[in-house]
Amino acid sequence: MILARSIQPIFHGNRLKSVLFIKKNFIYTISSATSFQKKPSSFVSSGNLDHPDAGEDAFSNLENSKYAFNVVLDGVGGWTNIGIDPSKFSWGLIRELEKEFKKFGNKFPDPLSVMTNAFDSLKKSKSIRAGSSTACATLFDKQSGKLHSLNLGDSGFLILRDGSILYESTPQVLQFNMPYQLAIYPSSYSSRDEITPNMSDLTQHQLQNGDLIILATDGVFDNLDSESLRQVAEKVLSNNTKNENSTRILADSICKTAVTNSKNTKWDSPFSKAARSYGFQYRGGKVDDTTTTCMLVKEVQS
C-alpha cells in the first residue's frame, strides 16, 4: 500500500444543499453543507479541473425524492512519487458513484451496491492509470428515517443526538498511517492488495429530529477527536438557529479548527497519539487536505 502526505498551506471552499421530503404527517428537512480546506502540493496536475479543488479529497451530495446520498473520499497522496495525480482516482470514483446513484432511481440504492458498482465501472473504464482512496458514504432513507453507512479506511462519521455522541465509526487500517483503500495499481506492480468494498464496515441507524451527522476525511480526525468535534458542534449550534445555514457554519468551523490544530507542532493530537500506539515518536498535528460534510435532520409537522 502507499500513503503519503505533504505539509503545505491551505485553501478553502464550501458547498451547500437542502433536501425536503414527506413521511407520514411530517415534512423532514435534511440540510447538508460541505466545507474543504486544501493543502497545495508541488505536484502540478495537467488540464482544467471540472470539480471543486479539494486537493486529493473528493466529495458529493446527491438526492432524489426518496434518498439522500453523501460521500467523502481521500485520495492517497503517495502516488505523486511516481507522477500520478491522486485526485484523478478520488474524483473519478465520485463521478462513477453519481452515475450509479442515478441508475437506481427510486429503488433502494444501498451504499455497498453503489460503491461496488462504481468501483467496478472505474476499473473497467481504463480512464485511471493508478490511484487509491479511502471512502465514507451515508444513505438516508427519507421514508423510514434510517441512515445506512459504508466506511472503508480512516475517513469516517459521527452521529450526535441531543449534544451527545450517539455513534462514531472505527478506522480501518493495515498498519499505522496506512488505511484500507480501494485501489487501481499499475500493471507493472507485482504485489497488489485485494481490498474491495465488501471489506467496508456497514451500519444502520434510526435517526430522529435534530440528529446531526458529520462525515469527514482524516484531515479532520487526525486533528480533532470525537469529543472535540462534539464541542465544536455544541458551540456552533447553541449560537445559531438549527437550519441549513447552521450546517454551513458548522462545516466551516470544523475545517478551520482542524487546520489550525494541524499546524500546532506542540500539542498531543489524535495523530500523535496513534503514532505512539504503534511505537513511533511524533508530536503535533498533521497537515492534510481537510473535508467535512455536516447534515442536520429536522422534522416539521405538516
- pLDDT digit string (tens) for 194-206? 899 999 999 999 9
Q: Is residue 268 part of a domain?
A: no
Write the pLDDT tens digit of every residue in 154-192. 999 999 999 999 999 999 999 999 999 999 998 887 666
Question: If you average pLDDT over each of 20-34, 113-127, 176-190, 231-245, which comes out highest?
Answer: 113-127
Q: Is residue 250 part of a domain?
A: no
Q: Which CATH number covers residue 72?
A: 3.60.40.10
- The b-or-e profile of 127-153 (16+ CB within 10 A means b, else e) is ebbbbbbbbbbbbbbbeebebbbbbbb
Number of domains in the chain: 1
Q: How far apart are CA 47 and CA 85, in angstroms?
A: 11
Q: Which of 52-66, 154-168, 288-302 has the lowest mean pLDDT?
A: 288-302
Of residues 57 and 1, which shows the higher confidence score?
A: 57
Is residue 8 predicted with pLDDT exceeding 60? no
Q: Is residue 79 part of a domain?
A: yes
Name the residue type at position 77.
G
Output the nine-digit C-alpha cell for 112.
455497498
Output phi, psi for 88, to 5 deg: -60, -40
Q: Is residue 224 part of a domain?
A: no
Range of the domain at 177: 11-218+287-301
Closest residue by Cα to residue 169 from 157, 183, 185:
157
Output the nine-digit C-alpha cell for 197.
468494498
CB of 16 closer than 8 Å to CB of 296: no
Model confidence at 5, pLDDT cuts 50, 70, 90, reads very low
How many CA atoms, within 13 angstroms, populate the side-chain half-sphere of residue 148? Answer: 17
Q: What is the mean pLDDT of residues 96-114?
A: 94
Name the residue type at position 82.
I
Is residue 7 predicted with pLDDT exceeding 80? no
Closest residue by Cα to residue 80 from 91, 69, 89, 67:
89
Is residue 112 predicted with pLDDT exceeding 50? yes
Q: Is residue 248 part of a domain?
A: no
Q: How far apart are CA 225 and CA 118, in angstroms?
A: 31
Beta bridge partners of 75: 133
Q: Is residue 196 part of a domain?
A: yes
Give the rounded percent of residues in the chain with a pLDDT score beyond 90.
Answer: 71
Look over the chain and give the mean of its residue pLDDT values, rounded to a whole number: 88
Q: Is residue 70 part of a domain?
A: yes
Q: If DSSP codes are grouped into helix, strand and coil, which group holds residue 72?
A: strand
Q: What is the mean pLDDT of residues 133-155?
A: 95
Model confidence at 260, pLDDT cuts 50, 70, 90, reads very high
Q: Is residue 225 part of a domain?
A: no
Q: How far apart are CA 130 and CA 132, in angstroms?
A: 7
What global pTM score does this model have? 0.89
